Structure formats: structure tokens, C-alpha cells
Amino acid sequence: MEFNQIKHISLQEWDNLNSKDTIWIRVGYGASGQAAGAQEIFDLLKELSSDMDNINITLVGSMGLSYAEPLIDIKNNSGVRIFYNNVTPKITKEIFNYLIEKDAPLSEYVFGQVVPKGEKPIDGFIELDKSEPLKFTKQIATKNFGSISPTNINHYIANGGYEGLSAALNELDPEKTLNRVKNSGLRGRGGAAFSTGIKWSFLAGINSNIKYILCNCEEGDPGAFNDKGILENDPHMLLEGLILAGYATGASNGHIFIRDGHEIPIENSRKAIEQAYEHNLLGENILGTGFSYDVEVSLTGDSYVAGEETALMEAIEGKRSMPRFKPPFPAAFGLWGKPSNINNVKTLSYVPYIIKEGSEEYKKIGSESSSGTAIVCLSGHIKRPGMYEIEMGMTIKDLLQNIGGGSSTKNEIKLLQTGGPLGGVLGNEDFDVKIDFDEMSKVGAILGSGGIIVADSTTDVVDLIRTLVAFNQFESCGKCFPCRLGNTHMLDILNRICNSKPKDGDMDVIKKIGNSMKTGSLCGHGQLGYSPIASAIKYFKDEFDVALSANHPVDSNIDEMILPTRTRP
Amino acid sequence: MGNRKKPTDKDIRDAIENQPKISKTTVLSSLLAVSNKFHYIPKNAVEIVAKYTGKTINDVWGVASFYTNFRFTPPGEVTLDICWGPTCHILGSQKILKDVHGLLGIDQEGETKDGKITLRYSTCLGACSQGPVFAIDHKLFGKASLSKIKEKISGI
């Protein structure tokens, strides 16, 4: 089938759903929606509408507004989407019955509205996309969030999906496709922020029948849920980027790498791949252009280090996910010994936009050195926790205030924990810093994968750092002894300090251990183990001093820290 | 948690052979298939996986003992995961863990005396924006509190 025909069918389905005589109810799901109880709301709506023909109920991904979940929206004959936040089964029933009786929104529960082009807003309701926090966002990779079914390829295609792929295959050769990505200034969103185009060119320059593009959705960083968020919302966005990466680099196979147990992203990815094969967007001779490419889902067990690029390949090969010695680098010797390239989910999800709209359009967004957007995850002591796509260059202060709505407690925000457990803390004296790879690194902060954990002034910094070290200790793969033993030793000392039993020179010992870990470990897990401690001392030396004078504030809840006992033998 | 009967060799081979299709079946993919089906790795599975993948028993034990989701004894009827990651920590998960210990009458991860509930500490369940988070048989719940956990496991 020609792409135009596929598009035609998709648009028909989409227009039917949006026609005036159809009621379309969307329930925001994903991990966050599930945790808020969205499944029960969906089941209830299904039950209530079971004998009604003109009502469609769809599970969509989460819009990112976690604080408003369970979040549902109803489009009736007005064409406008009316949103209801924090619904309970009881409220859902009321809203539904009112809709059936009066064919109108139940004002007292309305959260806001989203008005499609050409429709008129309804008086009295705020327009969500024109109010806080969404008016401060910029949606590129997340543009379909909350509006399409993640398990229906037609929804994606009806909203412009696979147009970039079709255009690239028909109008651009691989080199031009790669150059478009290179010129866009796209930098990897997994943490290292390396130029994606240059990374791809390493792989493109190697001749081999088999080459792999590995998409990393391991996402073990606590506080980050945007990779899984993309797969929960819009797996085809990632898949299109993954196919384009294959085309640009001459790769033969793609893998989506996810931790077992995250059922929604796994199921969505599998379904998306299956649908892409059915539509000849994967497999032999894609869309009749001669390009062939296969994609599959690879699962790993619980291991944080599996997110490291060479450990990831070990896991796909079915082994213990321990990092390999480099060189050889993955572009030369990767998965199964074949040339490979590893990209983060977010990175690949920008590619369809870049190919479709061009490098210059993408470059217009964001800041000089960090083009595009950042998809950030807010959690902790923040009024509006959730997942937001913002333009690079926004200050942390604006992010916390305009998007996050400020502290969720009566206390001010004291610090952010960013960059995952190997990242660090950012004290509030530096909240003027811009969200930008280079600006953030100037103050020693790491944007990392976009997880931002917000902590208010009651947070005990020494205890928070102990938790990060405990995480790193628990997750060390054990291959390099400086990391395996170093983290254990650091945790012992921090436990002692937290229990008000410090010894002279404790911090010097920790620093020494950190140095050994930095020089003696193969991967970032050991190399960066001291970073969270260093950053915490930079901002909160006084709190460490108090703790080191055997005066750690006593809190009966935390002094005996409860930690897992499992270790890796 | 479903099948309480000790899985036979055939049960295990079926689980391995019916694992989701991938281009190269591995030790890890086979162990995941066994673990997803029976919720633990029975002793006889190690040998079967080794044979099936052409690896040694040592290789298989190496992998099975590395990934922290694998266990080697049957879990309780219900598995309760409580997150202790940084977000949940800031939002009070240590207190919740302590309270849950009291509720279940245990002082670490593992099974309750009646064998009904398995408690696990999780490093991150992926719903940080709803923290503190807990899960019952992989189903996530946000805004954890002792009373909410009590309510969700009541009747077990």
C-alpha cells in the first residue's frame, strides 16, 4: 500500500472519532495515571457506556499533568475537549449521567478545555493550553500526549506521523537524512549530551551487513519517567525515529531495550512494532523503497547498570549487565560483535520532527548550544508534579514557579536533585541557571535524563545523600572493585554520620574513596559515585559540619535506614 | 499469584518455548519467561535453561543471581513493592516502610509468617510524580500511606 492510502484511511478513522455525532471520552493512563487510579475510571466508563453506540472510550497516555490525575476529557457535539481532573468513580458517574441526560459538561467538576482549530471555546472554562502550566511548554516530541491512543497506528498517522519517514525514504538519501539531524544540533538526551548526528556518522562510516541501532529505555534513574512516558503515550513517535536512525546510518536492525515489569511501555512498543510491520513501515522493502529494517523489543532484568551502553549490549546478549572495556567502541564492536549505536528514547523521538520540518526549524527552538526542548519530570515537594516538555533556555526558577507552581508545602524549596543518583544536588542560590546542557554544567549541575526531584527546606541533606549512595551501592554491578567496595564503604561511613557517630577525617576518607572510584571504574557508575556528595558539600557544608560534630538531627524515622538486603554475588 | 503447584520440567520448557519472539533467545530472556510465568526460578529451571540455550549451569546461575528481580523460592500470594528511591524517600517512604513492617509483622524484605504476602523494597517503580509509590503484583498506587496500603491488601 502507498503511504498516501494509509494516510487516507487513518484520517477517515480520526475524523469519525472527532465528528459531531460521536462522543469521545479519553482517559489519561500510563504509570502515573495507573497510580492515580485511572484504570478503575476507564473500566467504569466502559461499563456505563456498554450499550451505547455513539460513545468511544479510549485509554490514552498521560498529558503529563500528574497532579490532575485521574484526568479524563470528553468531546461531545461541541467539538471541544472538556477536561475533568482528579475524578473519583462517584464523580465520573455524575459527569457521565449528566452528559447523557443534558448533553453538556458538568461545570462544577470541569478542569478546563482544549479547543481544536476552527471550534469555539465554551464560556466559563479556562483553556488549558493557554493557561499555566501548559502555556509555558513547547510540545515537539510530546505533541500527541494525552490525545491519541498509543495502541492505534492510525491515530499517529492521522496526526502527521510517518510523514518524515515517507519523505526521507522517497526524497532524501541516507546521507542527507543524517545531515539533517547533524545540522539540527540535536544532542543526546540520555545524559551525555553528545551530538546525535556525529554519533550516527561513526556508525554510518562502517561497512557491515548487520548494524544495530539500540534504543535505550532502561531508565533506572529514580525521578525520571519521560522515556517510559513516551512509550506510554506515543510509541510510534519513537519507532519512526528509530527507523529513520536505521535509514540514516545504514543499519539493519533496531532494538527497544526496556526493563521487564514495565508492562505498559513494553506492550505499547510490541504493538507499535507489529502495526508497523502490517503497514510495511518495517520489514523488507519498506514502502517499496528498497530499504529493509527490523525492530524488536529486548528486555532486561532489574539492574540499573544495564542502562550503560556496553552493559546494555551484554544484557541483550543474555548475560550479566556489566560494562565492557572500551575501546573497542560500540560503533566498531557492539551487540553480538557488530557495529552498534545507542540512543536514548527522547533523542530518537525528536528525529521525526527534524526530518519533517528541517534542521533550521528545530534549531529555532531552544538555546544556542542546546537546540530543541527538554522533557523534564518534576516530583517531590512540588505543587504540580508531572512531565513537561519545555524549551531549552528556561531558568530553573521559572520552571519551578510557572510550570511546577512552587513548593507543595509551606516551606520554600531548598534544593533539586538532578541527573539521577549519580548526578547531584542544586542549591536554591543557583536557581537562576538556565536549563541548557552547557549552562547547567557551568554550575556543576547535570540535566541528565531530565528527572528533577524537588526538596523543601525540611529535607535533611546528609540523609538524602545517604539514600543516593545507598542506591548506588545496591545497584553497583560489582565488576570493578573500587565501585563495588567503595560505595559500600561510603555508605557505612554515611550511616555512621547519620547516626551521630562520626569519626575524625570521615569526609577525607570518603573523598579518597571517591577518587579511587573515579580512576578505577570502567563506567560512570563508579566514576561518578562521589559527585552527589561533592555537590552536596558545595551547597550545604554547614549541614555536613553539624552532622560531623556528632550532632545529626535525630529523627527516629530515618536513623535506622531500611534498605534491601539482596546483593549481587 | 496463580500457579501454586511446583512446576514440572515440561511446564518450564513450555514457558521457555512460548516466550515472546525475539531474534536470538538468550539465557536472560528464558529466565525472564520462567520468572514471569511462575514468579520465581525453580531449581530445575536452571538446568533446562542451560540446555535450551546451549550454556553451562554456571552461566545460567551467574545471570539468575545477578538481576535482583529473580528469586529462587515461591513468593507469597501477593507481592507488595514499596519504593525507597529518592523522590519517595523525600516524601516519607522510610516511615511507610517502618509502618508496613509493623503491619505485616516482619522486619525486612520477604514473606509474612502465613506466607501470604511478600514485601519487597523497590528502587523505583516509575511513577515518581505520584510518590510515595507502592505496587501490588505490579499494579501501581500513588500517595502511599499506611492506611492506603492496609486498604489495598485487606482481604488477603
Assess whether pLDDT exceeds 90 at residue A557: no
Assess whether pLDDT exceeds 60 at residue A376: yes
Q: What is d(CA A169, CA A182) in angstroms, rounded to the nearest whole number?
A: 18
Q: Which of A304, A141, A334 is nearest to A218 (CA)?
A: A304
Q: What is d(CA B48, CA B59) in angstroms, rounded to the nearest whole number?
A: 12
Q: What pLDDT, in 10s, does the model give residues A474-529?
A: 999 999 999 999 999 999 999 999 988 999 999 999 999 999 999 999 999 999 99
User: Which stretches of A435-475 are assigned E, i.e. beta strand?
Assistant: 451-456
What is the DSSP secondary structure assignment for residue B60, as one 8-state letter? H
**How many structural domains is chain B composed of?**
2
Assess whether pLDDT exceeds 90 at residue A422: yes
Size of interface A-B (CB pairs under 8 A): 180
Residue A1 confidence (pLDDT): 75
Tell me, yes or no, if A4 comes closer than 8 A to chain B by beta carbon: no
Tell me, yes or no, if B140 comes closer than 8 A to chain A by beta carbon: yes
Other beta carbons less than 10 A from residue A279's beta carbon: 20
In this structure, the answer to whether residues B89 and B127 fall within a common structural domain is yes
Asked if the structure places residue A149 within a domain, the reply is: no
Partner residue opposite B129 with nearest CB, options A319, A378, A564 = A378
DSSP per-residue string spanning A11-30: HHHHHHHHSTT-EEEEEE-H
Assess whether pLDDT exceeds 50 at residue A258: yes
CATH number where A42 lies: 3.40.30.10
Per-residue burial over A387-404, b = 16 or more CB atoms within 10 Å of its CB, e = otherwise: bbbbbbbbbbebbbbbbb
Residue A569 confidence (pLDDT): 60
Burial class (CB in 10 A: 0-12, 13-18, 19+), A428: middle
Nearest residue on chain B to A299, judged by CA atoms? B29
CATH number where A342 lies: 3.40.50.11540
CA A334 to chain CA centroid, Å, is 25
User: Please, what is the end-to-end C-alpha distance for chain A in angstroms?
Assistant: 54
Distance between B27 CA and the closest CA of chain A, angstroms: 5
Q: What is d(CA A115, CA A125) in angstroms, rounded to the nearest whole number?
A: 11
Q: What is d(CA A296, CA A254) in angstroms, rounded to the nearest whole number?
A: 7
Tally: H helices and E strands in chain A: 21, 14
Residue A240, classed as helix, strand or coil, is helix
User: For residue B63, which residues of chain A lie inside 8 Å, CB to CB?
Assistant: 318-320
Q: What pLDDT, in 10s, does the model give residues A120-149?
A: 999 999 999 999 999 999 999 999 999 999
Asked if the structure places residue A506 within a domain, the reply is: yes
Nearest residue on chain A to B64, judged by CA atoms? A320
In this structure, the answer to whether residues A378 and A351 fall within a common structural domain is no
User: For residue B109, which residues of chain A lie inside 8 Å, CB to CB?
Assistant: 564-566
Q: In the structure, what pLDDT confidence band is assigned to residue A341 with cuts at 50, 70 and 90?
A: very high
Beta bridge pairs of residue A453:
A379, A417
In this structure, the answer to whether residues A395 and A357 fall within a common structural domain is no
**Choice among A152-161, A177-186, A550-559 with the minimum mean pLDDT:** A550-559
Total residue count of chain A as it appears in this document? 569
In this structure, the answer to whether residues B52 and B83 fall within a common structural domain is no
Tell me, yes or no, if B24 comes closer than 8 A to chain A by beta carbon: yes
State which H helix or E strand residue A378 sits in. Answer: strand A373-380
In this structure, the answer to whether residues B16 and B61 fall within a common structural domain is yes
What is the bridge-based pairing of β-strands A451-456 and A373-380?
parallel
CATH number where A499 lies: 1.20.1440.230
Asked if the structure places residue B34 within a domain, the reply is: yes
Domain hosting A211: range is 162-363
Q: In the structure, what pLDDT confidence band is assigned to residue A558 with cuts at 50, 70 and 90?
A: low
* Mean pLDDT along residues A169-177: 97
Q: In the structure, what pLDDT confidence band is assigned to residue A77 with cuts at 50, 70 and 90?
A: confident
What are the backbone dihedrals phi and psi of residue A455, each rounded to the nearest 5 degrees, phi first?
-130, 135
Residue A566 confidence (pLDDT): 66
Mutate to test the interface with B, among A29, A34, A62, A336 (most CBs of B within 10 A): A34
Partner residue opposite B129 with nearest CB, options A377, A475, A557 = A377
Alpha helices in A64-104 (DSSP H): 89-102
Residue A371 confidence (pLDDT): 96
- Asked whether the beta carbons of A416 and A453 are under 8 A apart, the reply is yes
pTM of the model as a whole: 0.97
Proportion of chain A above pLDDT 70, given as a percent: 98
Assess whether pLDDT exceeds 90 at residue A13: yes
Place of cell 547498570: A305
CB contact under 8 A, A320 and B141: no
* Mean pLDDT along residues A376-389: 98
Burial class (CB in 10 A: 0-12, 13-18, 19+), A520: middle
Domain hosting B103: range is 78-153
Q: Which of A156, A129, A152 is nearest to A58 (CA)?
A: A152
Partner residue opposite A299 with nearest CB, options B32, B66, B127 = B32
* Mean pLDDT along residues A162-183: 97
Q: What is d(CA B51, CA A134) in angstroms, rounded to the nearest whole number?
A: 55
CB contact under 8 A, B85 and A471: yes
Total residue count of chain B as it appears in this document? 156
In this structure, the answer to whether residues B23 and B46 fall within a common structural domain is yes
What are the backbone dihedrals phi and psi of residue A74, each rounded to the nearest 5 degrees, phi first?
-125, 125
Residue B3 confidence (pLDDT): 47
The alpha carbon dihedral of B96, A406, A555, A504 has a sign of positive
Distance between A463 CA and the closest CA of chain B, angstroms: 10
Q: What pLDDT, in 10s, does the model give residues A205-223?
A: 999 999 999 999 999 999 9
Tell me, yes or no, if A85 comes closer than 8 A to chain B by beta carbon: no
User: For residue A386, which residues of chain B lie inside 8 Å, CB to CB?
Assistant: 129
CB contact under 8 A, A320 and B32: no
Side chain identity at A24, as an amino acid letter? W
In this structure, the answer to whether residues B55 and B91 fall within a common structural domain is no
For residue B15, give the C-alpha cell: 514457558
Partner residue opposite B69 with nearest CB, options A301, A316, A477 = A301
* Mean pLDDT along residues A83-105: 96
Tell me, yes or no, if A422 comes closer than 8 A to chain B by beta carbon: no
Q: Which of B109, B115, B117 is nearest to B79 (CA)?
A: B117
Place of cell 577525617: A505
Side chain identity at A448, as an amino acid letter? G
Which are the contacts of B154, defined by CB distance < 8 A and separation ≥ 6? none
- Asked whether the beta carbons of A269 and A228 are under 8 A apart, the reply is no
Tell me, yes or no, if A36 comes closer than 8 A to chain B by beta carbon: yes
Burial class (CB in 10 A: 0-12, 13-18, 19+), B92: middle
The 3-state DSSP composition of chain A as helix, strand, coil percent (nearest 5) reads: 45, 15, 40
Tell me, yes or no, if A453 comes closer than 8 A to chain B by beta carbon: yes
Tell me, yes or no, if B43 comes closer than 8 A to chain A by beta carbon: no
CATH number where B119 lies: 3.40.30.10
- Asked whether the beta carbons of B116 and B156 are under 8 A apart, the reply is yes
In this structure, the answer to whether residues A261 and A286 fall within a common structural domain is yes
Asked if the structure places residue B16 within a domain, the reply is: yes
For residue B48, give the C-alpha cell: 533446562
Asked if the structure places residue A142 within a domain, the reply is: no
In this structure, the answer to whether residues A388 and A338 fall within a common structural domain is no
Nearest residue on chain B to A451, judged by CA atoms? B128
**Choice among A240-244, A319-323, A407-411, A446-450 with the minimum mean pLDDT:** A446-450
Q: What is d(CA A329, CA A321) in angstroms, rounded to the nearest whole number?
A: 17
What are the backbone dihedrals phi and psi of residue A81, each rounded to the nearest 5 degrees, phi first?
-90, 120
Q: Which of A457, A427, A452 is nearest to A553 (CA)?
A: A457
In terms of phi and psi (left: phi > 0; alpha: psi -120 to 50; beta: otherwise), the region of A212 is: beta
Tell me, yes or no, if A407 comes closer than 8 A to chain B by beta carbon: no
Asked if the structure places residue B73 within a domain, the reply is: no
User: Please, what is the end-to-end C-alpha distance for chain B in angstroms?
Assistant: 11
In this structure, the answer to whether residues A356 and A451 fall within a common structural domain is no
CB contact under 8 A, B26 and A32: no
In this structure, the answer to whether residues A189 and A322 fall within a common structural domain is yes
DSSP per-residue string spanning A143-197: TTTTTS-TT-HHHHHHTTTTHHHHHHHHH--HHHHHHHHHHHT-B-TTTT--BHH
Place of cell 552493559: A311
Q: What is d(CA A541, CA A538) in angstroms, rounded to the nearest whole number?
A: 6
Nearest residue on chain A to B100, judged by CA atoms? A562
Q: Which of B83, B77, B75 is nearest to A562 (CA)?
A: B83
Q: Which of A337, A363, A389 is the last residue of a domain?
A: A363
In this structure, the answer to whether residues A347 and A422 fall within a common structural domain is no
Q: What is d(CA A259, CA B87) in angstroms, rounded to the nearest whole number?
A: 20
CB contact under 8 A, B94 and A298: no
* Mean pLDDT along residues A315-337: 97
For residue B151, give the C-alpha cell: 486498604
Q: What is d(CA A322, CA A329) in angstroms, rounded to the nearest whole number?
A: 15
> For every one of its 156 residues, what pLDDT tens digit does chain B have, with 9 covering 90 and above?
444 678 999 999 999 999 999 999 999 999 999 999 999 999 999 999 999 999 999 999 999 999 999 999 999 999 999 999 999 999 999 999 999 999 999 999 999 999 999 999 999 999 999 999 999 999 999 999 999 999 999 877
User: For residue A37, which residues of chain B lie inside 8 Å, CB to CB?
Assistant: 141
Instruction: ipTM value, please give it.
Output: 0.96
Asked if the structure places residue A331 within a domain, the reply is: yes
Q: At what angle do helices A531-546 and A506-520 cross, to 10 degrees?
A: 180
User: For residue A271, which residues of chain B lie inside 8 Å, CB to CB?
Assistant: none
Distance between A448 CA and the closest CA of chain B, angstroms: 16
* Mean pLDDT along residues A25-30: 96
Which are the contacts of B8, defined by CB distance < 8 A and separation ≥ 6? none
